[in-house]
Structure 1
Amino acid sequence: MLTGLCIGCGTTGLAMEAPYCGDEGVWIQILGSGGYELDDRGAASYLVWRDQRAVLLVDPGPGSAVRFGEAGADFADLDAVVFTNVAADRTADFPSFVAGSDGRTRPLPVFGPDGNDTYPSTRELLERLLGRQGAYPGLADYLTFRDPEGYRISVRDVPATGQRRWARFGTDDLTLAAIPVHHGDMPSVAWRVEVAGQTIVFTGNFSNRKDVVAGFAEGVDALVIHLAIPEGARGLVRERYVRPSQIGRIAQRADARMVVLGYRTSRTLGRETQSRTALEQYYAGPLVFANELECWGL
């Protein structure tokens, strides 16, 4: 059964009640539903909860640290953090999470795409941000584990080229897999998450040129995918993002039980009816247009 819950939606940030994602089961919470624009939506970012514990943070972009606190999540509970790419709107708040992470004692696994001649790998990015010679050298101990009372960030690059699935992380609560996706010249990966028998795929930004997401997402309980452009988009954006009709085809081929549409920017806001119409030509399942701090139970 799919359960939607949104407490405080429509209120201002200061008046917003603490959201609540249910006592039991697996939930997806929207920390940010927007993109790179300066508006009232945070950049696309997500939490996965299990039984009132936040186990996975996906794409800690701008605004996500504030929403994380509003959600009542505890950084010490996280089993991992994953990036779909290393753009600013996917990663910018990560130093804020680290700076405010007092109380965590176990290592923090962080996974993201490797780099190319233009973009740094995830490991290189975090070294540039948190390393001794980086932007925030005061946080460097978290990369070196020199503070015996702290914890260490364990960074691993995931292949962002080819078509092979990466699957080298698992705990009792969480299993991760990734596959390269096409997003222009930016190394990018989609993530498949398994928690307590439920499966979620977070695609991040992609154009589907490689046509790998439908197979990667086969049988998922929730497909979290980005609605970045309208059906009639033209030009270079079609080389970087999927259109609504393509989302519908992917969801139909994957037999996704539910689709969550994130990364809602000025290109698609206000065009929900048109996007839904294009998407529902191919997919007849439940659709959710993501908003800040909403929770969706699986």
Structure 2
Amino acid sequence: MKLSIKNAFQGAVLILTSNSIAAFASTEQDMQSHCENISLQVLGSGGPEINDGLASASFLLWIDGKARVMVDAGGGSSLNFEKARADFNDLKAILLTHLHVDHSAALPVYIKAGYFTGRSTALPVFGPASGGDFPATEDFIYALFNDRPPGVYAYLSDNIRQQASTDFLIEPQSVEPSGDIWRHQLTADIALSAINVVHGPVPALAWRVSYKGCSVSFSGDMNGRSGNLQKLAENTDLLVANNAIAQQAGRIAKNLHMTPQTIGKIASVAKVRKLALSHFMLRSRDKKSESVDIIKQNYEGEIILTDDLGIITFQGTP
């Protein structure tokens, strides 16, 4: 299934003069030109539930026809990685928004499967620093794969420590922006940015991936109170926002996740060009239409409802 980005003001009432039509067409053409080689594929549009028919959170950014950056690695995403016909050798990095199970559980699956792909280049894994009950990303990786002392999968220790049997190494790195935007040049053309967001007591990051002037931003799980996402996602071409709760959610859920109203306000303030909703749960899945209507009270751009294996493109219908 392919979802194409169409109208920057879908659902809004427009009064267009000939000049405004020309300006709109120019904006749309500009987006197509600087994002023409990028698409985003959804490997998992669900959350932690096992009765929703969805894989847990994971996204794959395709650049020039190759799967270059994975954001989160939730359960079930590895099967969809295969269905997407992605090549593990093409990955330049895995970005983790936080270390909850539904965003990271498939990481060992990818690492073990990497042995059978012939990968030989290092794989950076970026994620949050430690906090509360959660380890730093480096310690998380070592707890999984270390053999000194033994971790959960110590038999894969040759992926974190050079040995005779090593095929490729994981390079874990914790990111601690402390309210400022953290930046990293991943390759000559791919730049990463991150900022801390509030997901209750859980250390969490929002991510932005940029390629030659085109950017895709990811909220991860967050409640929206820090004000940081709108800084990171300012003028981004696409914001993927987690829609895990409905507007009428309880206090505990709202401490962890954004309401639809919050999503709409952030997207509007950040001047996001397109908005995609994901990380659906049973409590939000059946209220998608209601959530979209609430978001539209503040945000006038196109709103895309994601599904597993759906592809978002930045040009005309493929």
Common fold: TM-score over 0.5: yes
The answer as to 2:53 corresponding to 1:38 is no
Match of residue 123, structure 1, among 118, 132, 138:
138
1:228 correspondence with 2:244: yes
Secondary structure in 2 matching 1:76? helix
Match of 2:285, SS? coil
Count of residues in correspondence between the two structures: 278
State the shift of 1:4 in Å: 5.5
Report the counterpart of residue 47 of structure 1 in structure 2: 60
CA distance in 2: counterparts of 1:127 and 1:169, whole angstroms? 25
Distance in 1 (alpha carbons) for counterparts of 2:301 and 2:180: 29
Runs of 4+ more than 3 Å apart: none
Aligned partner (choices 125, 136, 156) of residue 153 of structure 2 = 136
Return 115-124 or 34-43, whichever deviates more. 115-124
- Give the corresponding residue for 1:219: 235
Structure 2 SS opposite 1:141: helix
1:43 touches 1:89 (CA, 8 Å); kept in 2? yes
> 2:28: which partner in 1?
none
> Do structure 1's residue 72 and structure 2's residue 85 form an aligned pair?
yes
Residue by residue over 1:10-47, the C-alpha shift from the partner in whole angstroms, topping out at 9 and shown as x without a partner, is xxxxxxxxxxxxxx610000000000000310111100
Partner of 2:97: 84
Among 203, 207, 214, the residue aligned to 2:219: 203
Alignment gaps of 5+ in structure 2? 7-35
TM-score, length of structure 1 as denominator length: 0.90
The separation in 1 between residues aligned to 2:57 and 2:300, in whole angstroms, is 24
- Structure 1: any 5+ residue segments left out of the alignment? 6-23
Greater relative contact order, per chain length (Cα 8 Å cut-off, separation 6+) = 2
- 1:168 deviation in Å? 2.6
Is residue 79–residue 174 contact of structure 1 (8 Å, CA) maintained in 2? Answer: no
Helix, strand or coil for the counterpart of 2:199? coil
Instruction: String of CA shifts for 1:156-181, please: whole Å, max 9, x gaps.
Output: 10016x30111133212311011000
Structure 2 Cα separation of the partners of residues 4 and 201 of structure 1: 15
Which one-letter code corresponds to 1:144 in the other structure?
Answer: R
Is contact 2:132-2:201 (8 Å) kept? no
What CA distance in whole angstroms lies between the structure 2 residues aligned with 1:215 and 1:139? 39
Whether 1:296 and 2:312 are equivalent positions in the alignment is yes
Distance 1:141 1:67 in 2: 26
- The alpha carbon displacement at 1:149 in A equals 5.7
RMSD between aligned residues: 1.5
Q: Percent identity?
A: 32
- Greater Rg over alpha carbons, structure: 2
Q: Which amino acid aligns with 1:25?
A: N
SS of residue matched to 1:43: coil
CA contact (8 A) 2:5 2:312 kept: yes
TM-score under structure 2 length normalisation? 0.85
Distance of 1:147 and 1:126 partners within structure 2: 20
